[in-house]
Chains A and B, each alone.
Chain A
Amino acid sequence: ETGVTQSPTHLIKTRGQQVTLRCSSQSGHNTVSWYQQALGQGPQFIFQYYREEENGRGNFPPRFSGLQFPNYSSELNVNALELDDSALYLCASSLTGTTDTQYFGPGTRLTVL
């Protein structure tokens, strides 16, 4: 069974740029959730995708957007990067969007200069 994978591992961008982060869900899982973890804090929910549709969103601005593909992999896109977007971005997959445990990938460390 393949776990959740994320790419890239690290990324450095400058203010105003755009970034795309990628996540492959665990085999058999159809739901992907994204979280932002700033340094020294707990992860914050960004949004969730279930069968290619957005299925809930946290308190993040519209410049944070996402996609889920037919194979249930997912992308997180962030436009107009700000310094405060520097964080570890975590992807988690689960079997359904409601009750099942979420399994996390290793994360992508984004640094915005």
Chain B
Amino acid sequence: AQSVTQLDSHVSVSEGTPVLLRCNYSSSYSPSLFWYVQHPNKGLQLLLKYTSAATLVKGINGFEAEFKKSETSFHLTKPSAHMSDAAEYFCVVSVTGTASKLTFGTGTRLQVTL
């Protein structure tokens, strides 16, 4: 079975400062890992995904994440936060199989202040 743990339910940063959203995963097999973002009353948008290629993954809107197998982590970072980054972020794991069921973390709410 696979699971993800998002270590912070809420993160607050000032605009222009770095963002770090933490995620640890557990998987019996080689996982695929994703970060999705959800703005209020909107669906989920894919930020980036890792599928056993490069361990440093670049996504949209300046976000990136690093897969660290030794630490079972997949933290999401951005060098400089923007007000429009305020949203709910989900770390997601899946294992390739008969059905690519996505297993979501509980989410991290990112607040960006002036």
**What is the interface size of chain B, counting residues whose CB is below 8 A from a CB of the partner?**
23
A99 and B100 within 8 A (CB)? yes
- Least Cβ–Cβ distance between B86 and chain A, in angstroms: 17
Report A-chain residues with C-beta under 8 Å of the C-beta of B106.
41-42
Which B residues touch A98, using CB under 8 A?
96-100
Query: Of the 9-residue stretches B11-19, B41-49, B62-70, which lies at the interface with chain A?
Result: B41-49
Report Cα–Cα, A4/B44, bound state, in Å: 11
**How far in angstroms is the closest Cβ of chain B from A43?**
5
B51 interface residue (CB < 8 Å to A): yes
Q: How far is the CA of A40 from the CA of B96 in the complex (A)?
A: 27
> Is B103 positioned at the interface, with any CB of A under 8 Å from its CB?
yes
In the bound complex, how far is the Cα of B97 from the Cα of A99, in angstroms?
8
Check A42 against B101 for contact (C-beta < 8 Å). no
Give complex CA distance A55, B101 in Å: 10
Indicate the member of B43, B49, B97 with the most A CB atoms within 10 Å.
B43
Query: Which of chain A's residues has its CB closest to B92's CB?
Result: A42
Is the pair B102, A33 in contact by a Cβ cutoff of 8 Å?
yes
Cβ contact of A55, chosen from B98, B102, B107, cutoff 8 A: B98
Q: Closest Cβ of chain B: how far from A64's Cβ, in Å?
A: 15
Task: Contact check, A48 vs B100: say whether CB atoms are below 8 A apart.
Answer: yes
Q: 19 A-B residue contacts at CB 8 Å?
A: A33-B99, A33-B102, A41-B106, A42-B104, A42-B106, A45-B102, A48-B100, A48-B101, A56-B99, A94-B100, A97-B98, A97-B100, A98-B99, A98-B100, A99-B32, A101-B34, A104-B45, A105-B43, A106-B43
Interface residues of B (CB under 8 A from A): 32, 34, 36, 42-46, 49, 51, 90, 96-107
Instruction: Identify the 3 closest CB pairs spanning chains A and B, nearest first.
Output: A56-B99, A42-B104, A104-B44
With A48-B101, A56-B99 given, name 5 new contacts (CB 8 A). Answer: A35-B102, A41-B106, A55-B99, A101-B46, A105-B43
